[in-house]
Structure 1
C-alpha cells in the first residue's frame, strides 16, 4: 500500500514537471487549442457617430484613429495597397476617421492617416494652409507609407477638401505614378458657393479676412484661380481610378453636384439614389455606413458587397 502511494506521487510529480515541456512541444493539444483564440485580435469598434468622434478627439487630441499608422503593417495579397485617409478643412485625423479607419483595418487593410495643412502637425484645426502646401505634405507621407510597406501604390480616401486635395498631388506632384484609386466623400472638386454665402462675403468685403485665417477656404470657393487651374481639361489622370460619393443634402459643397467629376475612369455616386433613408449631410457623411459601404466596394471592386440602406441622420451619421 505504501509503495503504491509513493509510486502515484512520483508519477504525478513527474507529469507536472514535464508539463511545461509538453506545452512547448505542442503535445498537450487541448491546452494549445484553448489558448489559440485568445491570441487572435478582436475587431476594432467602429463608431458611426460624428459627435462621439469629436468627444474622442477633444479627450485625446492628435491621437491616431483606431487601426491607423501602424508602420509595421504589411499589405496582404487580398489587399495589396495601403489606404491613406485624408481629412478635410478644419478637421483632423482623430475626429474624421473613427469609423472608416477601424472598418478598413478590420477588413484587413493597412491604414494610414496623416494630419496635414495645420499650423503644426499637432494643432487641433488642420487643413487651413494653402492646398499646394498640404499636398506636398501628403506627397511626403505617401512616400513614407510606400517605403515602410513595400507597396508600389496606395489608394486614397478623402473627405471634403481631403477628397479634392489629392488631385493636386496626382496632377502636379508626381502622385499619378503612386496612386491607384482616389475615393472622395463629398469632395470639393469644383468648389462651393456655400448656398450663396461666398457671394455675400464678397459684397461685404469678408473674403480677404477669411483667406487670412484659412487660405484653403478661399481656394475652395467656386471659380477660384486654384480650382480653375486644377479642373482644366477635366482635372483627372488616366492612370488613376476615381470614385465620388456625395449626398444630396450637402450644405457645405453646394450645389452638391459640384463634387462630381467627368471622365471615363470616374464613377459618381449620389447616396440617395440607392438609399432614400440616407439623410447624411456634409459633416456626417464620413460616419454614414451607407457611404462607407460604397468606399469598401470602391477599394475592392472585384469583390463587391451588398449595399446597405439604413436611416442616417444629418450631423450625426448612423
Structure 2
C-alpha cells in the first residue's frame, strides 16, 4: 500500500512553507544589489562631415519609448572631417586622436551631469572609429557598458597598403589594423569588458562594396566586402536593403539598438507626437583652406552674427502664411532658438550671414521638441552661377535609391544625379533656368515638401529638407 500524508500534516507543511517564503532575510545576509538603471545615458556620435542633427529622429524614438530626454546626448565634432593623412595636420580636419579626445571629454561631461557610472555609445560611420579608439586606448572601457556601431567601416572603405596607407579609412593601414588586432583567447576584434553590436547592410552600404565605384575607383577591387562593418566578438545585425545612413537613423536600426541596450523590444518604432514643441539648434558654416585649390570645409563651430527667421508656410504652395513667427540674431553660442513651434505646421527657415548665400530651408512639421535642429550655411558654387534658382532636395538621414525609393523633385521622377543601384546620394540638386519665385515640390516615399524658388542672382539658395 502506498503511504499517504494525512490532511492535517499537509496543512502543516503548507503553513511552514508559507512562513519560510514570507520570513525576513537573516541579519547576516548581504543586501540585494540595487536594480540597474533601465535608462542609462546614451551618447550619440555622428559620422564624417556630419552633425549631431542627424540623430534627431533616433532621439525622438528613444523618447517615445520612455527614455528621459536629459539622458540622450548627441555630440558635435567641431571639425567633423577626417584628415587625408592621419599623421599630418590639415586645415579644418581632425585626427583619430583628436576625435577620441573630444569624445572622451563629452563622455565625462555626461557622466558628471547624470551621476551615472557608465554610458552607452551609439555611433554612425566614422564616429565608430572614435568610439573604438576611446574604448581601446582612451580609458573608455571603464566608462562604457554598451557600444553600437552603425555602418562603421570597421575593416576599411578599402584595404591596400599601397594606397594612402596612413588614411584612417584604409583597412590595411596602422589605425584599423591596430583596432582589429586579435584580443583574448578567441581572437576577438573588440575590446573586452564592453558589450558590442554592429549594424550592417546586406549589400546596399556604399562604403562596404567590393568595387571602388563609390570611392572614385570604379573597376578597382577594394578588398572590402559587404560584411566589412561586422566584428568578431560583437553581435552583428544585418538590415536587408538599408543604405549607409539608414543603418543608424532608420526605424529598423533603432529597434535593434533598443533591444541590444535594454534586452527587450521597443514598444514601437513610431514617433509619439507632443502637444507642445520647442525647437533650437546651432548655426554653423564653412571654413576656408589655406592650401590653394582646396576650397572650403564644413565645420560645426557656432556662426555668431547669423540671422534666423522662421515663417509658417502653406503646404500646397510653400508661400508664407504671414510675417515671421520667430527671428533671432545668433550670439557666440550659435543657438538660433528657442522657438515655440506648432507640431502641425510646415516651416520655412531663412538663415543669412555675411559671406554666405541666404539659405531658405523648407521643413515638414516637427512632431516633437529638439535642441539639435542645426543649420549649416553654404556658398553658391561657381558651376551654379548660371541658374535662375537653385533648389536641392536633401535627405540627411538616408540616401536616395533607384528603383528602391519613390523620389520626385519638381515633378521629375527620379531627379537627375541619382544613379541606379547602390543607394549613395543624399541630395538631388535642380538648377532652374526659368523664372524664379514659383512653387517647387519634393517628395520621398510619401514625405512631401513644397518650397519657393528664390533667385540665385540675389544670392539665395533653397533646400527642401526631408526629416525621415
Q: TM-score range by the shorter chain?
A: 0.5 to 0.7
User: What is the DSSP-based 3-state SS (H/G/I as helix, E as strand, rest coil) of the residue aligned with 1:232?
Assistant: coil
1:20-39 alignment runs, 5 A limit: none
Q: Give, in angstroms, the shift of residue 129 of structure 1.
A: 1.3
1:285 to 2:255 alignment: no
Verify: 1:137 aligned to 2:102, yes or no: yes
Is contact 2:123–2:248 with CA below 8 Å preserved after alignment?
no
Contact 2:154 2:171 in 1 (8 A): no
1:159–1:186 CA contact under 8 A, matched in 2: yes
1:251 and 2:206 matched: yes
Change beyond 3 A, Cα 1:119–1:262:
closer
By percentage of residues, which structure has more strand?
2
- TM-superposed CA distance for 1:77, in Å, is 6.5
| Paired residue total | 209
Is the 2:96–2:129 contact (alpha carbons within 8 Å) kept by the matching residues of 1?
no
Q: Which has the higher contact order (CA 8 A, sep 6+)?
A: 1
Residue 140 (structure 2) pairs with residue 175 (structure 1): yes
Calculate the aligned-residue CA RMSD, in Å: 3.1
| Residues 119, 186 of structure 1: alpha-carbon distance in 2 compared, 3 angstrom cutoff | closer
1:295 to 242, 257, 260: 257
- Once the 2 structures are TM-superposed, how far is the Cα of residue 237 of structure 1 from its aligned partner? 2.1
Partner of 1:152: 117
* Cα offset, 1:117, TM superposition: 5.6
Partner in structure 1 of residue 75 of structure 2: 114
Query: How far 1:240 sits from its partner (Å)?
Result: 0.2
- The residue aligned with 1:191 is 156
Cα distance, 1:177 vs structure 2:
0.3
Structure 1 residue 296: Cα displacement: 1.2
CA shift, 1:269, in A, is 0.8
For residues 226-241 of structure 1, what are the structure 2 equivalents within 5 Å?
226-233=175-182, 234-241=188-195
The 3-state SS of whatever aligns with 1:246 is strand
Which segments of 5 or more consecutive residues in structure 2 lack a partner in the other structure? 1-34, 82-91, 183-187, 210-224, 270-400, 406-422, 427-443, 445-466
Q: Distance in 1 between matches of 2:118 and 2:80?
A: 28
**Structure 1, unaligned runs of 5 or more:** 1-75, 121-126, 212-217, 273-278
- Aligned counterpart, 2:236: 268
* Preserved contact between residue 261 and residue 268 of structure 1 (Cα < 8 Å): yes
Contact 1:117–1:131 (CA under 8 A) maintained in structure 2? no
Describe the shift of the 1:144–1:153 C-alpha distance in structure 2 as closer, same or farther (beyond 3 A): same
Equivalent in the alignment of 2:57:
99
C-alpha distance in 2, partners of 1:173/1:153?
15
- Structure 1 pair 114/305, CA: closer, same or farther in 2 (3 Å)? closer
TM normalised by structure 2 equals 0.41
